[in-house]
Structure 1
């Protein structure tokens, strides 16, 4: 990172890092979401036994992500993110904001679609072994089909956004021009 950019931010008294709560939620959810995307994209080629275990994990993580995204959204709406140092070009800021809110939409929509799909299945709805109630939905119904298609296509969109997000982070890290990546790295937080 450009040391002049950091020292001017520090000299002005601004804290340019996300709060520790935001950092924890970001990295914890990133790990869970990447795990779910890998399972979702590649489970078809696995043995039935492995597929069963991994799909139960996929569903449990999905329910957890849904709960965490509500907490994260509440945190985000009540805590202003730190400024970029130096400010990003307008197109990068617009793209970052669009990707950010699309991630939120997917983190809410994908678990809802998955829950509806699983509710239409014959197996119990489990969250790490704890049985949860299902909603009354028939497998192959119009609502089930919509949930299935939305969950499938949304998974591909999520995978693409993850690649875009990691690529953009790598660009900012390698360019050294700004503090984009450092803002979310553990090791310090905003008050």
Structure 2
């Protein structure tokens, strides 16, 4: 079976790990009461990871537009192929929408995003106490949809490994088999 290219595989797993870490950190940091040094540090890490996901997602999309993915197995039902395309499309949209909504939420809160403490991202909107809760809710719900989509993606991968045994997961595996 044909595999994805090495850059596609590396970007897939880097982004996947960063999304899981960023989501988990977001849950942890929002549960910390008050404004503590730990909470502020976690917010910075969360933002850095989100900006990194956005940058890597941009690279991944550019690579995907340039590089054709391997074909699905001929025996795979058409409805599953359509579902896979729809889920992958939604995952791409969310890889951009989630970090962008967080970025604009931070700006609406009057907190600039400073990447790794090295440079500030542009301030595209001014602090806005009316927009802040709207963007906060949007960021939260986009994250919940992303988490659900990731869960469906992982469950589908398990189905292909345990039920279908069609080798489709090996196309993106970081550990190629012969």
Task: Give the TM-score range, shorter chain.
Answer: 0.7 to 0.9
Question: Normalized against structure 1, the TM-score is what?
Answer: 0.82
Aligned to 2:26: 40
RMSD value over aligned CA atoms? 2.0
Number of aligned pairs? 174
Aligned to 1:147: 135
Shift of 1:169: 0.9
Aligned to 1:136: 125
SS in 1 for 2:158: helix
Question: Normalized against structure 2, the TM-score is what?
Answer: 0.88
Conserved? CA contact 1:32–1:61, under 8 Å:
yes
Paired with 2:114 and 2:75, the residues of 1 have a C-alpha distance of 45
1:96 to 77, 84, 91: 84
Which whole-Å deviations, capped at 9, do the CAs of 1:136-171 have from their partners, x for residues lacking one? 3223234x4442222111000011111111111111
Conserved? CA contact 1:62–1:111, under 8 Å:
yes
- Structure 1 residue ranges without an equivalent (≥5): 1-8, 10-15
66-75 or 34-43, larger mean C-alpha shift: 34-43
Structure number with greater CO (CA < 8 Å, separation at least 6) is: 1
Conserved? CA contact 1:84–1:178, under 8 Å:
no
Conserved? CA contact 2:107–2:113, under 8 Å:
yes
2:166 maps to 1:185: no
Q: 1:20-99 maps to which residues of 2 (within 5 A)?
A: 20-46=6-32, 48-99=36-87
Shift of 1:51: 2.2
Shift of 1:86: 4.3
